[in-house]
Amino acid sequence: MSRKGILRAFFRIVNRLIVVPAFNAGLGWIISNPIAGDIMVLGILGRKTGRMRYTPVSYIRLEGKIYCYRGREMQGQWYLNLLANPRVEIILPDGRLSGHGEEVTDGNERVEAMRLLMMGSGLSSSLYGFDPSNASDEAVAEKIRGIAVIRITLD
């Protein structure tokens, strides 16, 4: 198994055994913090099984909507499920919501949302290789090329 495969398997186990149960128990505030970053759990129906699947993702709230993203390096089965069935359940550190997710296609909205997502990602913000709070819109747009940004409109 490749290094990426081992890392994916590790996070899948941690998410299934620790992160998702913590959010379901109302303890999401322990997981979502300034060190780990702003985390929510996204519930989406599986496109093949029809069963609800849960995955933790970074998020921000912006103008009454919630944004998250699918990283460039990850396969993002949750993303493929969302494209097939855009109805989502959201478990935030402070409660549950539901909504409709869609990929953001407007360049300015993508840059604004991704800049805030990167700034709220805790210690992992250093992985981006630049400071998103001081970078130009063009620099952010270049860094997020190929990354899907998702807007969730709440019910």
Domains of the chain: 3-154 (2.30.110.10)
DSSP of 90-133, one letter per residue?
EEETTEEEEEEEEE---HHHHHHHHHHHHHTSGGGGGGGSS-TT
The string of pLDDT tens digits covering residues 54-101 is: 999 999 999 999 999 987 655 678 999 999 999 999 999 999 999 999
Say what the pTM is: 0.89
Given this model, what pLDDT does residue 57 score?
A: 92
What does the pLDDT average to over 107-132? 87
Would you say 86 and 99 are in contact if contact means Cβ atoms under 8 Å apart? no
Q: What's the residue count for the chain?
A: 155
Closest CA to 79 of 125, 120, 106, 47: 47
Q: Residue 131 corresponds to which tokens in the numbers above? A: 């400071």
